[in-house]
A and B are shown apart, each in its own frame.
Chain A
């Protein structure tokens, strides 16, 4: 059974089909990439999965249970966390509290504040933000805000993590560090579904890649298969 699967997932904005009858599946332990030109519907698909938007049609299942149209907080508590393309940290709250909130509210059953604080501290260590734990999140650099979002998502103890352009706007060194971080998260047994434009990153760490174009899935396969697919090359480079 795949950890995440979608059947005929569709979303209309007015008359426009932002996502059109997309079937997809993510297996336990995989890193799956989601690529496509701008406006292909990648972030919309993530929004449908995380509950930020409700699909117009189709079914989404997480660990075998239907989550179509559930509220984001319910989906999060079931074990599905995400980060955002444009970072959405809590700007005026200290870094530590950003992560603490995830640890306090993101799990199916309640935890003590002391326990959540321990977890938050450990996660800040993991993403390398221990030194700035008391800094308001808005004062962090972009790369650190992205790390913070990652730590906050991990604090909810996800089984599956959706990463929306984690590496956009980072310099080559930072991309390398981010890739290493993603690999370490997978090694902890967390499945990863990621949107990415940095091709070097996506080709080297993904087990499988799904390609969207104009809301439709046009290709799927190993990085090798996708990179050599004629349709994909046409979409990216023109005919």
Chain B
């Protein structure tokens, strides 16, 4: 019975993926402008949350650094956008984030628990104020203008980043390193004692996850046209991925993705329909989720699934 179910899944997943891919690739041809922009926003949050989950999901190290890498991407775009072609800007943003994360990770991934979270958050502030000082001191400005790119291009770039991220996450999870990352989260000392190079693995994974965040920042900057350090290094971009991941359920990779999609859509809807109460409503939804859905949306789905299958069994039992 198990085998039959597995085979069915194997057929379904690639088929669904292909359909989804075709749908998203052709969407700008027939969808409204608003839908394209909305989907770009959602995709951005999925990239942020998914990247965060690659590292923090299995290891349990809560990183509050996403805003730092996001901001690095934004500034890469602001500095290089005028002189370099878009793909080069995106790639440089990813590389810059990777290198900074590698350096920071090597320094700080010995820190555990809350200390790691605090440091990563400090990193966001550190880069923000360093940049502010640099801009005022040497360039004599506070903000920068970013080259404008049309919405359809932004949409496609964001979806390519998203697709690459999902593929990377899938490959990591399937590999022996995915299993090792989980073992670090479960018991780091034991993992080290059976031959896992825990510091190296943590640092490299942290750096890989930063690539996508940096790239997302680089493309989003072109939509905002003007950036300064406060906009670029907004701590909200550190907290949102964590909240979205918790909302969706951290345990499995699907959780953070689902959380990001629902959460981002919710944010967008609330902000347009109830601009004055949106933060309030948002807070209420979040509290309800934390109190009643300890394992997030995915946990809820699992409970429902179990109930349904139990009912079925009860019927066949009669």
Q: Which of B182, B187, B195 contacts A156 (CB 8 A)?
A: B195
* Contact string against B for A residues 87-130, beta-carbon threshold 8 Å, 1 for contact and 0 otherwise: 01111110001001110111100000100000000000000000
Compute how far the CA of A205 lies from the CA of B183 in the bound complex, rounded to whole angstroms: 33
The 10 closest A-B pairs by CB, nearest first: A106-B195, A105-B195, A90-B186, A88-B190, A72-B192, A76-B195, A102-B194, A72-B193, A88-B187, A105-B196
Contact A113 B176 (CB under 8 A): yes
Contact A106 B186 (CB under 8 A): no
In the complex, whether A152 has a CB less than 8 A from a CB of chain B is yes
Contact A50 B193 (CB under 8 A): yes
In the complex, whether B136 has a CB less than 8 A from a CB of chain A is no
Compute how far the CA of A190 lies from the CA of B190 in the bound complex, rounded to whole angstroms: 20
Give every chain B residue within 8 A of A153 (Cβ-Cβ): 194
Give every chain A residue within 8 A of B194 (Cβ-Cβ): 76, 81, 101-102, 105-106, 152-153, 155-156
Q: Identify which of B176, B179, B194, B199 gathers the most chain A CB atoms within 10 Å of its CB.
A: B194
30 A-B pairs with CB atoms under 8 Å apart are A51-B193, A52-B193, A71-B197, A71-B199, A73-B192, A73-B195, A73-B196, A73-B197, A73-B198, A76-B193, A76-B195, A77-B195, A88-B187, A88-B190, A89-B190, A90-B182, A90-B187, A90-B190, A90-B191, A91-B187, A92-B182, A93-B179, A93-B182, A101-B176, A101-B183, A102-B195, A104-B176, A105-B195, A106-B195, A155-B194
Within 8 A of B (CB), among A25-81: 50-52, 71-73, 76-77, 81
Give every chain B residue within 8 A of A84 (Cβ-Cβ): 189-190
Quick one: closest B residue to A84, CB to CB? B190
Contact A93 B183 (CB under 8 A): yes
Q: Is the interface of B mostly helix, strand, loop or mixed?
A: helix
Q: Identify which of A71, A88, A152 gathers the most chain B CB atoms within 10 Å of its CB.
A: A88
B189 → chain A closest CB, angstroms: 6
A79 → chain B closest CB, angstroms: 10
In the complex, whether A133 has a CB less than 8 A from a CB of chain B is no
Contact A93 B197 (CB under 8 A): no
In the complex, whether A11 has a CB less than 8 A from a CB of chain B is no
Give every chain B residue within 8 A of A107 (Cβ-Cβ): 195
A-B contact count (CB 8 A): 76
Give every chain A residue within 8 A of B193 (Cβ-Cβ): 50-52, 72-73, 76, 81-82
Contact B187 A101 (CB under 8 A): no
Compute how far the CA of A32 lies from the CA of B157 in the bound complex, rounded to whole angstroms: 63
Contact B186 A93 (CB under 8 A): yes
Give every chain B residue within 8 A of A90 (Cβ-Cβ): 182-183, 186-187, 190-191
Give every chain A residue within 8 A of B198 (Cβ-Cβ): 73
Q: Which of B180, B186, B192, B199 contacts A92 (CB 8 A)?
A: B186
Give every chain B residue within 8 A of A105 (Cβ-Cβ): 176, 180, 194-196
Interface range on chain A (Cβ under 8 Å from partner): 20 to 34
Compute how far the CA of A94 lies from the CA of B189 in the bound complex, rounded to whole angstroms: 18
Residue count of chain B within 8 Å CB distance of chain A: 18
Within 8 A of B (CB), among A143-190: 152-153, 155-156
Give every chain A residue within 8 A of B199 (Cβ-Cβ): 71
Compute how far the CA of A93 lies from the CA of B181 in the bound complex, rounded to whole angstroms: 12
Compute how far the CA of A72 lies from the CA of B182 in the bound complex, rounded to whole angstroms: 18
Contact B196 A101 (CB under 8 A): yes
Give every chain A residue within 8 A of B191 (Cβ-Cβ): 90, 101
Compute how far the CA of A101 lies from the CA of B194 in the bound complex, rounded to whole angstroms: 8
Give every chain A residue within 8 A of B179 (Cβ-Cβ): 93, 97, 100-101, 104
Give every chain B residue within 8 A of A72 (Cβ-Cβ): 189, 192-193
Give every chain A residue within 8 A of B186 (Cβ-Cβ): 90-93
Quick one: closest B residue to A97, CB to CB? B179
Compute how far the CA of A32 lies from the CA of B176 in the bound complex, rounded to whole angstroms: 35
Quick one: closest B residue to A103, CB to CB? B194
A137 → chain B closest CB, angstroms: 9
Give every chain A residue within 8 A of B196 (Cβ-Cβ): 73, 101, 105
* Contact string against A for B residues 189-218, beta-carbon threshold 8 Å, 1 for contact and 0 otherwise: 111111111110000000000000000000
Compute how far the CA of A90 lies from the CA of B186 in the bound complex, rounded to whole angstroms: 5
Contact A52 B176 (CB under 8 A): no
Quick one: closest A residue to B184, CB to CB? A90
Give every chain B residue within 8 A of A50 (Cβ-Cβ): 193
Given A76-B194, A88-B187, 20 more pairs with CB closer than 8 A: A51-B192, A71-B192, A71-B197, A72-B189, A72-B192, A73-B196, A76-B193, A82-B193, A84-B189, A88-B190, A90-B183, A90-B187, A91-B186, A93-B179, A93-B186, A101-B179, A104-B180, A105-B194, A153-B194, A155-B194
Give every chain A residue within 8 A of B176 (Cβ-Cβ): 101, 104-105, 113
B74 → chain A closest CB, angstroms: 37
Compute how far the CA of A155 lies from the CA of B194 in the bound complex, rounded to whole angstroms: 9
Give every chain B residue within 8 A of A52 (Cβ-Cβ): 189, 192-193
Compute how far the CA of A90 lies from the CA of B192 in the bound complex, rounded to whole angstroms: 12
Give every chain B residue within 8 A of A113 (Cβ-Cβ): 176
